[in-house]
Amino acid sequence: MGANPFDLTGRTAVVTGANTGIGQGIALALAEAGADIAAVGRSRADETAEKVRALGRRCELVSADLSSIEPVADVVDTVVDKLGRLDILVNNAGIIRREDALQFSEEDWDAVMDTNLKSLFFLCQAAARHMTQWAAQEGARGKIVNIASMLTFQGGIRVPSYTASKSGVGGLTKLLANEWAPLGINVNAIAPGYIATNNTAALQADETRNRQILERIPEQRWGDPADIGGAAVFLASRAADYVQGHILAVDGGWLAR
């Protein structure tokens, strides 16, 4: 590894939900910084893999439905088997269900909590067990980056399980940092603001809502997935070795208003 503290050469990163949007932006940014990528998720990330390989990095596609914890152990074992190691974990996969709190169903509650919080925790656990072994052998630190949300800080409306899960991600990030910092693992989170992706296409197309959103953002623009990628590179790199349990808002100033 070179003198550049942001250099990820020789590191391997797992990115869940890397097929599009923020996950793809993070995977490409990590690859540009030198990391090999394991793209994990329910949907094949062929486009992401092609772009990562065009940067001269390796990319393995690992199929896993993270709506349950069943595939978690296999994900880590597969990544280590195919790429030789696991240094960085980015928990980006997540789902959302919308309904008034008075009508919100148990099914929609469980589906979101299982994917966004339960699977995230057990993937952190499985990855950390490997990271602690390598930290002891090499002195290299493991890096875990969880994707939180503006709703880690705010309540929102009509998304009770999403808000609960992302608030949980924030608390869990801090707990894991407390426990795992002495073991050579940094655990932090990124809270994206309004990012221009397929998931927000309807909001962008709604003239009224789009105007309201932009009026609230000091930067006066939607974020790009690459904006999140830069933050992920920082938190995954040696430059962030003394950053622990932090939730980094990348929101164009949304929370500052």
Q: What is the pLDDT of residue 137?
A: 72
What are the pLDDT digits (tens) for 176-225? 999 999 999 999 999 999 999 988 888 899 999 999 999 999 999 999 99
Query: How many angstroms from the chain centroid is the CA of residue 118?
Result: 14
How many CB atoms are located within 10 Å of the residue 256 CB? 9
- What pTM value is reported for the model? 0.96
Residue-averaged pLDDT of the chain: 96
Per-residue pLDDT at 1: 45
Rounded Cα gap, residues 220 and 215, in angstroms = 7
Q: How confident is the model at residue 135, as a pLDDT?
A: 67
pLDDT of 136: 63
What pLDDT is attached to residue 199?
A: 82
77 CB contacts (<8 Å, ≥6 apart)?
A: none
Q: Which of 143, 9, 130 has the alpha carbon at shortest distance from 72?
A: 130
- The domains found in the chain, sorted by start residue, are 12-250 (3.40.50.720)
Which one of the listed residues 87, 93, 123, 162 is annotated catalytic? 162
Q: Measure the CA dihedral 167/171/172/178, to 10°.
A: 170
pLDDT of residue 139: 72
**Tokens, residue 118:** 């339960």
User: Stretch 71-85: mean pLDDT, rounded?
Assistant: 96
162 belongs to the catalytic site: yes
Calculate mean pLDDT across residues 167-181: 98
151: closest CA among 140, 141, 139, 159?
159
Shortest CA distance to 124 belongs to which of 82, 182, 66, 167? 66
Asked if 26 and 15 touch (Cβ cutoff 8 Å), the reply is yes
